[in-house]
Amino acid sequence: MIATAPDALDQYLDLYRNHRDTIDAACAAEPLNNMRHAAFAALESIPMRLPGKGDEGYAVTDLNGMFTPDYGININRLPASADVAEAFRCDVPRLSTALAITVNDTPRLTDTTARALPEGVWFGSLRRFAQDHPTRLEQFYGAIAPMKRPEVALNTLLAQDGILLWVGKGVKVDKPLQIVNLLSASTPVMAVRRLLVVMEEDSAATLLCCDHTMDCTNSYLASAVAEISLARGARLNMFDLEESSPLTSRCAGVFVDQHQDSELHLGSATLWCGTTRNDYEVSLNGPGATARLSGLAIGSASSLADVNTRVAHMSAHCTSRQLYKFALPEVSRGSFRGLVYVAPGAKGTDAEQNCRNLLADPGARMHTEPQLEIYCDDVKASHGAATGQLSAEALFYMRQRGIPEAEARNMLMQAFMADVVDTFTMDGLQDRLRHLVEKRLSGAGPEACANCSASCIPTPSA
């Protein structure tokens, strides 16, 4: 008889039942608590379970298993112990950005960040904004990410704070904004992170998010949900870089509601990870909306990088582009499942989806599942996926000219990733990302944090 895997949701529902008053009081924000109660009711009344490996859309990732371990959760909102000012200096924050830092799931912002932003921009604590402007927040919080997804409902149940970016009508934020998410604790921890981006009409901003594991001797789980609303004519560039440890699991969902003539670019780079599942759901709900999704993932050892996209063309004359690439060495695994949905009446749709993958060693594995679902005749849509190995001829050619094999392999993989790196159009980020990719493929781990004697991620053995 095969034993049934325990339902990971049960332990979190029990946690909330036993500590409801404590969690609600620690948050003390009516919009967040109202959505928390709605999530709890949904999880209790509607039969839900976190998907396991082999379920629809989860060919390689066991989400239920990811959430099963007994991680600590900061329900009392105790201050995180990491001294950010002294302990952290990442490769990417050297860019000129307005910076916000989250330690586990506790936001930390400075007066310097606020002074760097123009009038009409809020970039700070989601909980604080909910306390000060509850009516304004209720329109967006919990309205975009679907509660029918159990991982979204669970995140909504446990989230007590987060980061809010609100850009007012017509405001153009010239200085890029950056969120650095740190994982650091003395025991295994689950960080419940929430991000809400509201872009009013004709506004524009660039947002960079960086995930970094500081203490890699512990296991971590990052549960992250981002909701993005783009009003008419709004433009948002959002880039996500992950450098986490082999003991870190990440379940991240980005959900976007786009309106007429809005423009979105979502770029992601998984440079180091343990087990990562990234979901991107974009709904083009107004004519002329444009969405561009791009990403790269570099595997190591037995890591797993899983990307799932769904771009829904719900209105006429919308455009979408998707480009994803995976480079998988050793026994690492990758997965890409992408859907382009074209609704009835969405005439003039122009959609392209491409996934290209490189298996650098015989033990690496890649799962690809590109899909088109079209209910309108007047469309232009295409998708493609290809998985191959390093060119033996190219390697031979380079070795004949005195380039060592390891260096030649790295050069070929860098060239393979180049067109994805070029899509990261934020000033200074392309060069920084090229440096990170080059360093990553050379076998070196991320630069150690300042005042830290050990690199977060050990260099893989040859």
Q: For 409-453, what is each residue's pLDDT tens digit? A: 778 888 889 999 999 999 889 988 998 898 888 766 554 443 333
pTM score, two decimals?
Answer: 0.92
End-to-end CA distance of the chain: 41
pLDDT digits (tens, 9 = 90+) for 94-130: 678 888 999 999 998 776 777 889 999 999 999 999 9
What is the DSSP pairing of strand 163-167 with strand 121-125?
Answer: antiparallel
Query: Identity (one letter) of the amino acid at 251?
Result: C
Given this model, what pLDDT does residue 84 score? 55
> What pLDDT, on a 0 to 100 scale, did the predictor assign at position 413?
83
* Alpha carbons 216 and 139: distance in angstroms, whole number: 39
Backbone angles phi, psi at 347, to 5 degrees: -70, 155
Give me the sign of the Cα torsion angle 102, 106, 111, 113. positive
More confident residue, 262 or 88: 262
pLDDT single digits (tens) 371-380: 999 999 999 9
Question: How confident is the model over 15-33, as a mean pLDDT?
Answer: 96
Q: Are 384 and 370 in contact (CB under 8 A)?
A: yes
Residue 325 CA to residue 358 CA, distance in Å, equals 8
pLDDT at site 235:
98
268 pLDDT tier (thresholds 50, 70, 90): very high
Query: 333-342 and 163-167 as β-strands: parallel, antiparallel, unpaired?
Result: unpaired
**How far apart (Å, rounded) are the C-alpha atoms in residues 185 and 87?**
13
Mean pLDDT (whole number) for 5-33? 93
Work out the average pLDDT over 380-394.
83
Query: Could you identify the residue written with the tokens 């029918």?
Result: 148
Q: Express as a percent the part of the chain with pLDDT over 70.
A: 90
pLDDT tens string 53-76: 999 999 999 999 999 999 999 998
Please check the confidence at residue 460 and state whether its pLDDT lies above 70. Answer: no
Each residue's pLDDT tens digit, 209-229: 999 998 888 999 999 999 999
Mean pLDDT calculated for residue range 73-90: 66
CA angle 350, 417, 424 (to 5 degrees): 60
Of 1-15, 85-99, 214-228, 265-279, the least confident = 85-99
**Mean pLDDT across 392-402:** 71
Measuring CA to CA, which residue among 287, 297, 288, 234 is closest to residue 265? 234
Residue pLDDT, tens place only, 141-170: 999 999 999 999 999 999 999 999 999 999
The mean pLDDT of 200-211, rounded to a whole number, is: 97
Tokens of 290: 């444009």
